[in-house]
Amino acid sequence: MSVSARVRVLLAPSRSSAQRPGAAECAVVVDVLRATTTLTVALGHGAARVIAAATPEQATSLRAGHPGALLCGERGGLKIDGFDLGNSPFEYPVPAVAARTLIFASTNGSQALLAAARARRRLLAAFVNAGAVVERLAGERAVVIVCAGSSGRFAIEDAGCAGLLCERLAERGATLDGPTAALARALAPRDARAVRALVQGSSHGRDLRAMGASFARDVEFCAELDTLEQAFEI
């Protein structure tokens, strides 16, 4: 399968509307630790829909229009008080999420999803489903990879995942557009072992692992490469 797209990369959600994905573009949103990994698991387990919220307060307000929706998300890595689910992929098994709407307010991932709201379509990408994402981009002409980053700043695990996507897309004929795409590609891990080292060694990965065994398990899961065979659009 060939890909003819021009691909650009935002290393963090841009505050400039001119830089954000437009209506003619396909946005690929990346938040390896943990939002796009977690939401890919949730949708794979049958969740019906994801609605991104900027704040916990907005999420609570949105639920009034979506009876039966689950409030999901975190602040400081921890499930928000009063919410149904946090931001661990292990919190989203089939019995918990099948056929449910998820109103999702995470610290960084939700902001990236909202920054891509004008895009023609939005795909969730992480290391766990990188191959499936590349397959879903067949036929696209303009792709913007939006890294969630950390509080508006660069995060190595997201940039590395964007770079891996850039590398695989370029191998199939895509054109990388601009210096940030070139930088991301230069940061791309070359194999599963390198992915694991990058994610575990990242600042966010180390912080999560220090929070306890369940968070360390999340990091291990998010550090896997091509273990999920689906790429979801939200």
What CATH number is associated with residue 145?
A: 3.90.1560.10
Assess if residue 69 is contained within a domain: yes
Structure-block tokens of residue 43: 């949708």
Write out pLDDT tens, residues 97-132.
Answer: 999 999 999 999 999 999 999 999 999 999 999 999
Q: Is the pLDDT of residue 24 over 80?
A: yes
pLDDT for 4 equals 78
Non-local (6+) Cβ contacts of 67 within 8 A are none
pLDDT band at 2 (very low <50, low <70, confident <90, very high): low
What does the alpha-carbon distance between residue 158 and residue 163 come to, in Å, rounded to a whole number?
A: 8
Structure-block tokens of residue 81: 């008080």
Note the maximum CA span of the chain: 47
Assess if residue 231 is contained within a domain: no
Assess if residue 67 is contained within a domain: yes
Domain count across the chain: 1
Assess if residue 142 is contained within a domain: yes
pLDDT for 14 equals 79
pTM of the model: 0.96
Assess if residue 1 is contained within a domain: no
pLDDT for 206 equals 98
Assess if residue 57 is contained within a domain: yes
Percent of the chain predicted with pLDDT > 70: 99
Mean pLDDT throughout 191-198?
98
Write out the residue range of the structural domain in which residue 162 sits.
6-222
Q: Which has the closest alpha carbon to 36: 137, 111, 120?
A: 111
Question: Residue 226 phi/psi, 5° resolution?
Answer: 60, 40
**Which amino acid is it at 57?**
E
Mean pLDDT throughout 37-42?
98
Assess if residue 229 is contained within a domain: no
Assess if residue 108 is contained within a domain: yes
